Each structure stands twice: as structure tokens, then as C-alpha cells.
A and B are shown apart, each in its own frame.
Chain A
Amino acid sequence: MPNANTRVAYRNARLLDPASGLDQRGDLLTDGAKIADFGPSLFADGVPEGIEVVDLQGQCLAPGLVDMRVLIGEPGEEEKDTIKSASRAAVAGGITAVVLLPNTDPVTDEVASLEFIARRAREVRLVKVFAYAAATRGTEGNEITEMGLLSRAGAVAFTDGTKAIASAKAMRRALSYARTFDKLIVQHPEEPSLASGGMMNSGERATRLGLVGIPREAEIIMIERDLRLLELSGGRLHFAHVTTGESVDLIRRAKARGLKVTCDTAPHYFALTETDVGDYRTFAKVSPPLRGEMDRRAIVEGLADGTIDAIASDHTPQDQDQKRLPFAQAACGVIGLETLFPLTLELVHKGAMPLLKALACVTVKPAEILGLPLGRIAKGAPADLIAFDLEVPWKVDVTAFKSKSKNSPFEDRPVQGRPLRTVVDGRTVWQFEG
């Protein structure tokens, strides 16, 4: 495999760069960790000596995926996923950068915690690992964290991760204080007192199954409130995994008013609905819950019209002990690092979005939201790349996944398109061995 000092020529590629709209046949040259050049006639006179050649035979070459919402178990619950296992899963999924949520044990709310993550990532040295820091101490929703010091230590943004910042006062302060460092606040939009005790989307399905429902309004109300607070406080706000049509409408209108608001969703919210809970299928228990078909369609529309900026895996590993339980007791979450890419491509194959637009949602858009210089093919940009086959059909096989946990509701789902090679800083860190 090429090392960091090598120059590599990727030849006969379909070059795809969602940031610039590039979609043409050509070659790309990496020089160490950077992209040196690219274009249709880069090697018209042949590849100079000393450059390693990778012939992509017409396959696609795009920026590596930037996954802005990943939970792992390290530190604290290493049996679920470690930085190492999650990194291996990420690169196998075509992801070249992940951003970790702070909901570990201990919570990432101290400089030392960020340094620990950075050290483990350096040791593993596969995917680029970034981290959020908690917005409030212990993610308890009361006092804001040392945002300045945490920013200096590398926190890319602030969030209480899987928990909503429920107190309006704390949210106002977080938004306001984070402005000092031009940092983003990421909210899990769910009004906790409305969602409390809930297990799935409120409605007929929950009523039939006798499961406590979570109304869609739990999300909508929180988004409405936070948009007001954003107007009051200034700052930048990002809503994670939006799931309802009204949420998309609210954000669409807020953007039109010029508010600095962005949002993402996760594949399960556009690829599944509450009916996938079936007969108490705990792999379909997620937070926020899977919604109905109308909301699923609204999410797809939100992606298509650009209101929803990004798609994140929302990777939440849970081991068997957490999922092989009655639905009420089972933990929320699905693994997603290795299904993010094929499920995003599903939107393309189903005609919901053009390829470049879908790729933007998992590359340049999340990078821009977080202020990371990633996710694009440009001279001098980091050589974080993914080569992939856009068409090949396959079936999701969770047993082959690298994540330590296997809680995927997509097992056996027929998908189309898969990563063939993942390159981080010019190094090939993973190759498909089919």
C-alpha cells in the first residue's frame, strides 16, 4: 500500500467533486497527504517515473465521506465500539473523517478527554477523528462548559449529543457564548418532558403494540423554541437528525429569514418508517423514533431541496445485551458507519437526488458546517478520497461489518454501490476484497 510520502496517480477515474460540480473522466495525482492535481488530461504524456499508478478502470473517485455524528463506546463502554473498531468500520464504509459525540463515560467535557481521543486516533491512524465537546458540563443541561479552552484543545463544535439541551436558559447561554469562538451548537431536538418514557413514534402503530408513543411535536416544539433563541442570542445552530416534515418547514423558513441554522438527518429516517418496528424489533428503536411515511417523504424532499444540509450515520453501537430485551427496555440506536454510503446512494438510484448533490450531503456540506477543510477535490486539499462502484448490487451483511456491535435494521437490505478503496491523507487505508 502507498505510504504518506508517495505520489500516486489515480487513472481512468470518473472524478466527482460535489463542491465544484466536477463530474468528468480524468486522473488525479496525490503527493503525500495532499491532492497535487487532477483533470482530464493530467497524464496525456504518460505517468512520469516514480509515481505509483492505480487504474480505477472508470470507477468513481470522490472526496471521502465526513460523518458528523458518530457515537462510540470509548472510553467507558469499549465492548460496544472502540476508536479502533469504529475507525476500521468507518474506512470500510468510505468515511475518511468522523466527528465523535461527547456521550462517553466520562463525558467529553474536559480538555483531557479531547486529548485522550486525539491520542487514541493517532495510535490507530486510520480515519481522521474529530470530536465534539459537551455543551454543558456532564451533558446535564445546566452549566455551559469551558468552550474557549475546549475549542483550543480541538473541539469542533458543542453539543450534548444524544441528549437535548432542555433548559432554554442554558441553550441561550450556549448559543451566545459559543459566538465568542465562532463555534456551532448542535442540538438533539427533542423536548424531553414530552418524549419522556416514550419508545416509538406516537400513533396507530404504537397504540396497537401498546408502546408509549413520542409525539412528533416533541421535535417540532424544540426546533421552534431554539430558532427563537437563535434569533435572540445570535450564534450558529445545527439540528441533528431531523425527522418530521414540520421540522424541515421550520428550518426552511428560518434559513429564508437569514438565520444561521443548518441540519442533518440520518439514513434510517429516510430509508425506514415506524412500520419497521414490526413486532417489537428493537433494532428499529432509535432516538428520535422512526416516523410515518409522510414524514419520511418530507425528509427526502428536504434533502432534495437542500433544506437538510447533511446526512450523518448517527452510528450508535449497542451490544446484544442492550438490544435483546423487551422493546421498552432496549437501548436506542443503530450502527451506521458501513451503511451510510450505500443508503445515501439509494437516494440517487431511486431518483430522489442527483449523484453530486447526494455526495455533497456526506462530504463537503458536513465539512463546511463544522468548519473543517475537508470533503472536496481541489489542488492542495487533503488527499482524503473514496473510489467506488456506483452500480454494483449487494446485500447488507452485518456479520461482515467491522463495528463491534451489529445492531443494524438494514441486515439483508439490497443496496447498490459500494466503496472500493478509501484513502486518508494519501494513504490507502482500506480496499475492498470481494
Chain B
Amino acid sequence: MTGSPHSTTVFPHRHLLGIEGLTAGEITTILDLADGYVEQNRQPSKKSSLLDGRTIVNLFFENSTRTRTSFELAGKRLGADVINMSSDGSSVKKGETLIDTAMTLNAMHLDALVVRHADSGAVKLLADKVNCSVINAGDGHHEHPTQGLLDALAIRRRLGSLDGLIVAICGDILHSRVARSNIHLLNAMGARVRVVAPPTLIPSQIDRLGVEVHHSMATGLKDADVVMMLRLQTERMSGQYVPSTREYFYFYGLDYEKLAVAKPHAVVMHPGPMNRGVEIDSEVADDLKRSMILDQVELGVAVRMAVLDLLTRDRRGNNA
């Protein structure tokens, strides 16, 4: 299953804007390659020269220390020059549009652009206007494909395969790009996906995406192999979608009692950052036998290295 980081597999997409539309084979290609990069990252010397002389820009219109750092490390470990840009210091506040920004960046001859934006579809809009590869680092409520991939890699490394697993995604599905990427990915890989949340946090007709909908943790987690918890944004907590954090934790916060209906080997995941005592109990979060939260962080770098590697192959003449 482990692939060589220097294999010559061609990935037939110029950008990675979402998981929707990727085949199981393409997902496997990324995961296999990422497996190799996990090993590279565990070596004392982590750096390769694969992307020597290449320029990657992390363009973050929305704050995210952990995803940005993960992409930055991924680029640097492959030898690329990585520049971080955030909307705070950019011309966006002076009225420059996203398309103006794209045209400006295009003139700088980038090799890859990693974009996070608060609006769904914004990354696609940018990708249509630039010549380099674009990686979606999270757009609105739409997708966060590298998070989906790193989650898949974590599950695959722990449980061997995704095929046939029961995966419960719990919490704020409505606003979650992580949930959407994971739903597409897990479905493509043959897992059985459930979403578990109060009805106010379930988007309309999500069952059409091939998931079972549960409003109770007892049924949603029953016999699950994987329990993915999602972050709740506290500003959405009061009165709007759920009445209080206290009530939310009582019914939907993950603790050992709720986890008990899952399979004995079931693992717990969280894309972070966690609200301890809101969606997850600290005891569960810190239980290294059950919780894969730190694995996810580690594997994130490897997955992003694999994606950068694959998307720049064409540009590198496929002779890495």
C-alpha cells in the first residue's frame, strides 16, 4: 500500500478544489504517496529537493494557524520557497477583488497557490483565473479536501482499509467543509457514512449525498468504527442552532458513555481546534488509544506534501 514518494504517477487534475469528483483510484494514489512522505517526515533530516526553485504561496483570507503551518511545512520539506499571505495585510481591504488578486499573483509566476477563503466557491473562482495549480485549503462550507485526505490516511493506517467501515460524523454538519469532503471521500472509498447532529445543524437533503442521518448519538454511534467529531463555533451556539453549550454537550458531546455503543476498537477523530467540554470530553480527546487527533496533525503534512508533489508533476515535466 505504501507508495514511493518519487513514483511517477500522473494525477489527472490541475487543481485540488474538492474531493467530489475524485475517483477511488485517484484518492488511493494520493494516500499511497502520502504514506511515503510520512516516513520521510519521521527521519532526522526531513527535507528533499523535489520542489527546488518552485514557489508556493499560501493565500489565507481566513485565519488558520494549523492548516497554514501544515502547508508551509509541506512546501518547505519538499524544498519549495513558501510565502504566506493573509488578507489582513493584502490589498483586499483596499477594495481589490479576488480576481484582481488572482491576476496579480499570476504575474508572479507561482507554481502552486494554497487558498483558504470564507466563501464557498471562492477558491474555484480564483483557480479559473490563474495558471498555476490551486489547492483548496477550505472554502466556506464547501470543501476542505486535504483534511478529508488526511483523515482517510489516518483511518487507513490505523484500521487497514476504509472499505466497509461505519463512520459517524458528528456535530455541526451544516457549516462544515470537513464533513462534506469526508462524506465524498468515504463514500468513494466504500465506507458507510452517518451524520449525527440535531436537525438544526443538518443541511437540507444531505441524505442525497449518500449518508444516513441520525439525530441521536446512541443510534448514530452504534457499531461505528470511526467517530469524527466536528468543531462547534461558539458564536453559533446561543439560541440560533442549539440553545446552549451545556445542552449541546449533554446530548451531542462525545464522552465515554456515548462512545460505548461504538465498536470496541472505534477511533475518535477531530479536525481541531477542539472545544473541550462542548463537542468532546477531555478524557476522550486525550486518550491516545482512542483519539487520533495528533495522528491527524502529523499526517496532514504528509498528505499536503503528496498533493503538492502530484499537482506540480506536470509542470516539472513529470521527471521528479
Which residue of chain A has the shortest Cβ distance to B122 in the bound complex? A326
The answer to whether A207 and B203 have CB atoms under 8 Å apart is: yes
Chain B stretch 186-223: residues in CB contact (< 8 A) with chain A: 203-206, 208-209
The answer to whether A210 and B97 have CB atoms under 8 Å apart is: no
| 18 pairs from A and B in contact (CB 8 Å cutoff) | A202-B204, A203-B204, A208-B180, A209-B120, A210-B139, A210-B142, A210-B143, A210-B180, A213-B204, A280-B124, A321-B97, A324-B97, A324-B125, A325-B97, A325-B125, A327-B119, A328-B121, A329-B119
Which residue of chain A has the shortest Cβ distance to B204 in the bound complex? A202
Given contact pairs A210-B177, A321-B97, A204 touches B121 in the complex (Cβ within 8 A): no
Chain A residues closer than 8 Å to B276, beta-carbon distance:
none
The 8 Å CB contact of A204, one of B97, B117, B120, B208, is B208
Counting from the closest, the 5 A-B pairs by CB-CB distance are: A210-B142, A280-B121, A210-B141, A326-B119, A210-B120
**Best-buried of A203, A209, A210 by chain B (most CB within 10 Å):** A210
Q: Is A211 an interface residue (CB 8 A)?
A: yes
Chain B residues closer than 8 Å to A280, beta-carbon distance:
120-121, 124-125
Chain B residues closer than 8 Å to A327, beta-carbon distance:
119-121
Which residue of chain B has the shortest Cβ distance to A329 in the bound complex? B119
Chain B residues closer than 8 Å to A329, beta-carbon distance:
119
Contact with B along A296-321 (1 / 0, CB 8 A): 00000000000000000000000001
Chain A residues closer than 8 Å to B98, beta-carbon distance:
325-326
The answer to whether B20 and A326 have CB atoms under 8 Å apart is: no
The answer to whether A326 and B120 have CB atoms under 8 Å apart is: yes
Minimum CB–CB distance from A320 to chain B (whole Å) comes to 9
Chain A stretch 178-217: residues in CB contact (< 8 A) with chain B: 202-204, 206-213, 215
Determine the distance from Cα of A213 to Cα of B98 in the docked complex, in whole angstroms.
Answer: 23
Q: Which B residues lie at the A interface, using CB under 8 A?
A: 20, 97-99, 117, 119-122, 124-125, 139-143, 177, 180, 203-206, 208-209
Determine the distance from Cα of A324 to Cα of B141 in the docked complex, in whole angstroms.
Answer: 20
Which residue of chain A has the shortest Cβ distance to B121 in the bound complex? A280
The answer to whether B125 and A211 have CB atoms under 8 Å apart is: no
Chain B residues closer than 8 Å to A324, beta-carbon distance:
97, 99, 125
Determine the distance from Cα of A326 to Cα of B119 in the docked complex, in whole angstroms.
Answer: 6
Interface band, chain A: 20 to 34
Q: Is A279 an interface residue (CB 8 A)?
A: yes
Q: Total A-B residue pairs with C-beta atoms closer than 8 Å? A: 71
The answer to whether B120 and A207 have CB atoms under 8 Å apart is: no
For the complex, would chain A's binding face be called helix, strand, loop or mixed by DSSP majority? Answer: loop
Which residue of chain A has the shortest Cβ distance to B207 in the bound complex? A204
Given contact pairs A203-B204, A325-B98, A209 touches B121 in the complex (Cβ within 8 A): yes
Chain A stretch 260-291: residues in CB contact (< 8 A) with chain B: 279-280
Determine the distance from Cα of A203 to Cα of B203 in the docked complex, in whole angstroms.
Answer: 8
Determine the distance from Cα of A208 to Cα of B97 in the docked complex, in whole angstroms.
Answer: 25
Given contact pairs A204-B205, A207-B206, A328 touches B97 in the complex (Cβ within 8 A): no
The 8 Å CB contact of B141, one of A211, A215, A325, A326, is A211
Chain B residues closer than 8 Å to A279, beta-carbon distance:
121, 124
Determine the distance from Cα of A323 to Cα of B177 in the docked complex, in whole angstroms.
Answer: 24
The answer to whether B121 and A326 have CB atoms under 8 Å apart is: yes
Which residue of chain B has the shortest Cβ distance to A213 in the bound complex? B204
Chain B residues closer than 8 Å to A211, beta-carbon distance:
120-121, 140-142
The answer to whether B204 and A207 have CB atoms under 8 Å apart is: yes
Known: A207-B180, A210-B120, A213-B203. 10 other contacts (CB 8 A): A202-B204, A207-B204, A209-B120, A211-B120, A212-B141, A325-B97, A325-B98, A325-B125, A328-B119, A328-B120
Determine the distance from Cα of A321 to Cα of B125 in the docked complex, in whole angstroms.
Answer: 14
Chain A residues closer than 8 Å to B120, beta-carbon distance:
209-211, 280, 326-328
**Best-buried of B99, B120, B121, B180 by chain A (most CB within 10 Å):** B121
Determine the distance from Cα of A215 to Cα of B203 in the docked complex, in whole angstroms.
Answer: 11
The answer to whether B140 and A210 have CB atoms under 8 Å apart is: yes
Given contact pairs A324-B99, A325-B97, A204 touches B141 in the complex (Cβ within 8 A): no
Determine the distance from Cα of A257 to Cα of B205 in the docked complex, in whole angstroms.
Answer: 35
